[in-house]
């Protein structure tokens, strides 16, 4: 007996989830590939920053929130647009939700293919860079290369500030460069993996600090292509404005309105 394939409503949204506003870099890439797709962008601002939480806290929080959001909004697919949450909670979320789940992993593979010096820098949250998942990526794709990892939690706050219209603290950017330069082989880095979706928001500042000979690599385009593949052949119908969903009401949300509106997220809600 053949199984009945569930019908996907044309107005079913793609749910893009992150701890904060970093996942907007994934949304930007998704808009370029699937501009017609209705989207809910969900930011767990009540739980930010994830990089300072334990693995158990992150796994339970992400699975619980995505369960509530899936029940309420009935998305066709969910994307965990957060390296920290993906490397820790992706398996659990896939076990409990019955929709396609796209995760985010550090772009070690393309960085290893691109490097000429063989020395790759990787910046992420503390929770991301210590994961065994990153060890496996290094072993599989960067054999014979040197992968220098650095926890750069200050960049998350800098990216959040920039999206709210404030100038990122240049000392934070300079500190990242200095820490890499102090590592053995750090002066030979020619490829920098942005292993947090917040960090491409600082591509201009990081590019100026590291110089034109260092390529910045992130996974946003690959994630967007994966979403497009999994939703191939589906009908999209936008029946209302796309939503920016937050887990806590706070005064700072008003300062995000210009950045959200620029991404056609014209309706703000609190879960």
Cite the active site residues: 82, 196
**Residue whose C-alpha is closest to residue 108's, from 78, 129, 80, 126:** 129
Distance between CA atoms of residues 89 and 86, nearest Å: 5
What three-state secondary structure class fits 79?
strand
Strands 77-80 and 39-43 turn out to be: unpaired
Distance between CA atoms of residues 106 and 97, nearest Å: 23
Distance between CA atoms of residues 8 and 132, nearest Å: 36
From start to end of the chain, where are the E strands?
A: 14-18, 39-43, 77-80, 101-102, 119-124, 146-151, 191-194, 215-217, 243-246, 267-270
What three-state secondary structure class fits 187?
helix
């Amino acid at each position: 007996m053949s199984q009945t394939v569930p019908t996907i409503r044309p107005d079913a949204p793609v749910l893009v989830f992150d701890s904060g506003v970093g996942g907007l870099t994934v949304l930007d890439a998704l808009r370029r590939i699937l501009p017609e797709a209705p989207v809910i962008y969900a930011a767990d601002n009540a739980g930010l920053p994830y990089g300072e939480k334990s693995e158990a806290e992150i796994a339970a929080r992400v699975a619980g929130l995505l369960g509530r959001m899936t029940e309420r909004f009935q998305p066709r697919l969910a994307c965990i647009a957060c390296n920290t949450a993906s490397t820790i909670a992706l398996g659990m979320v896939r076990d409990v939700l019955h929709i396609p789940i796209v995760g985010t992993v550090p772009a070690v593979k393309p960085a290893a293919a691109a490097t000429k010096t063989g020395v790759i820098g990787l910046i992420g949250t503390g929770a991301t860079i210590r994961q065994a998942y990153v060890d496996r990526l290094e072993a599989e794709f960067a054999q014979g290369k040197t992968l220098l990892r650095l926890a750069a939690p200050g960049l998350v706050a800098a990216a959040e500030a920039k999206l709210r219209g404030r100038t990122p603290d240049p000392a934070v950017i300079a500190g990242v460069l200095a820490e890499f330069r102090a590592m053995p082989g750090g002066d030979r880095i020619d490829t920098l993996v942005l292993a947090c979706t917040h960090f491409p928001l600082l591509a201009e500042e990081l590019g100026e600090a590291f110089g034109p000979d260092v390529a910045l690599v992130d996974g946003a385009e690959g994630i967007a292509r994966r979403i497009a593949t999994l939703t191939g052949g589906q009908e999209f119908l936008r029946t209302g404005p796309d939503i920016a969903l937050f887990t806590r009401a706070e005064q700072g949300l008003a300062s995000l309105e210009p950045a959200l509106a620029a991404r056609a997220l014209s309706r703000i809600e609190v879960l």
